[in-house]
Amino acid sequence: MPYDTDPKLAEYAHPERLVSTEWLAQNLGTDGLVVAESDEDVLLYDTGHIPGAVKVDWHTELNDPVTRDYVDGARFAEICAERGISRDTTVVFYGDKNNWWAAYALWVFSLFDHPDVRLLDGGRAKWTAEGREMTTEVPKPERVDYPVVERDDRTIRAFRDDVLTHLGKPLVDVRSPGEYTGELLHMPDYPQEGAVRGGHIPGAASVPWARAAAEDATFKSRAELEAIYRQEQGLAPTDDVVAYCRIGERSSHTWFVLSHLLGFSKVRNYDGSWTEWGNTVRVPIATGPERGQV
């Protein structure tokens, strides 16, 4: 599929990872393109979605049902095959809440190194705000072949032990300020997901993920993003960065911003995040608004 040549997107380090609503509207229904909706709410897709879009649910489909892990290569191949996604398909993800869950789904697809994955800039909110077409008709894609690809857990994913050896290098905590300081054990207005200690990983910068989103749910411009992550937080594109949140979903959004929009070369998402770290015996924790000593 051709890339979107929208001038706003062209400013980003990897404009090929984003499409505008206009590009998507022009290209809907093209062979080789599958649009996938990923939402926090499991029913939202069913109330209406972009015509032809398939649904990928982060919770019930991308997670292994037993082990706390993502699906394996065989299951992933099945998820793609039944949605009409082959290895050379362009997959455009979009969803609710500033593409929060769409970015997560895109990150999981990236663990399997699916070559052409893109996000719809502005997500579901912008598409509907522009009065673009929605439908409740669920597509019935023709099944295609998808190879069983081994998941790569080294390049863009970090585990607890990786984070322990990473201490002292850049970490970005993308949760809310109250979760960062340790005042809250979960997101404001969200269920408690069982962390027995509050605070953050020592040395982590606090940059709530949604700071990267503009009012209309699109990503902020490259200059605005550079001002936050580079000037304000002092991160450099050559840094080895680990991002984390509570279960790794919000930090997928930040992973997308740092690696695809700002061109950082080594960014990993620690999906164990606070629900693992905050329950682990004898790992270091910092509380309060300061980054803390390693």
Partner 1 sequence: MSTQERRTLPPRLAELVEDFTDVGPSDRLQLLLELSQELPGLPARFADAADTMEQVHECQSPLFLAVEVDPGEDAAERGVHLFFSAPPEAPTTRGFAAIMHTGLDGESAADVLAVPNDFYTALGLSQAVSPLRLRGMAAILARIKNQVRVATA
Residue 17 falls in which region: left (phi positive, over 0), alpha (psi -120 to 50) or beta: alpha
The verdict on 44 binding partner 1 (CB under 8 A) reads yes
Written as one letter, the residue type at 133 is: E
The nearer residue to partner 1, 130 or 193, going by C-beta atoms, is 193
Q: Which of 63, 288, 97, 66 is nearest to 190 (CA)?
A: 97
Is residue 245 among the annotated active site residues? yes
Per-residue tokens: 148: 């069983």
CB of 80 to partner 1, least distance (A): 19
Instruction: Determine the interface stretch with partner 1 among 44-52, 80-88, 234-242, 263-271 (rule: CB under 8 A).
Output: 44-52
The nearer residue to partner 1, 161 or 189, going by C-beta atoms, is 189
CB of 59 to partner 1, least distance (A): 4
The nearer residue to partner 1, 46 or 150, going by C-beta atoms, is 46
User: In sequence order, which residues have a C-beta less than 8 Å from that of residue 86 and are 6 or more positions away?
Assistant: 80, 144, 145, 146
Taking residues 235 to 274 in sequence order and writing x for each that binds partner 1 by CB under 8 A, - otherwise, the string is ----------------------------------------
Select which of 245, 247, 257, 261 is catalytic.
245
* DSSP secondary structure of 200-259: B-TT-EE--GGGGB-TTSSBPPHHHHHIIIIIIT---TTSEEEEE-SSSSHHHHHHHIII
Q: Which of 123, 118, 104, 133 is nearest to 33 (CA)?
A: 118
Beta strands 240-244 and 266-270, pairing class: parallel
| Helix or strand (DSSP H, E) at 88 | none
CB of 270 to partner 1, least distance (A): 19
Residue of 43, 66, 223, 281 that binds partner 1 (CB under 8 A): 43
Q: Using CB under 8 A, count the residues that bind partner 1.
A: 15
The nearer residue to partner 1, 145 or 189, going by C-beta atoms, is 189
Q: Which of 60, 18, 23 is nearest to 38 (CA)?
A: 60
Per-residue tokens: 7: 């001038």
CB of 124 to partner 1, least distance (A): 8
Residue of 2, 22, 30, 42 that binds partner 1 (CB under 8 A): 42
The nearer residue to partner 1, 23 or 101, going by C-beta atoms, is 101
Q: CB–CB of 29/52 below 8 Å?
A: yes
**Residue ranges in 55-114 that form contacts with partner 1 under rule CB under 8 A:** 59-60, 96
Q: CB–CB of 229/207 below 8 Å?
A: yes
The nearer residue to partner 1, 41 or 240, going by C-beta atoms, is 41
Burial 63-84 (b: 16+ CB within 10 A, else e): beeeeeebbeeeebbebbbebb
CB of 47 to partner 1, least distance (A): 5
Residue of 47, 155, 233, 279 that binds partner 1 (CB under 8 A): 47
**Residue ranges in 182-221 that form contacts with partner 1 under rule CB under 8 A:** 189-193
Query: Which positions are annotated as active-site residues?
Result: 245
Q: Which residues are at the interface with partner 1 (CB under 8 A)?
A: 40-44, 46-47, 59-60, 96, 189-193
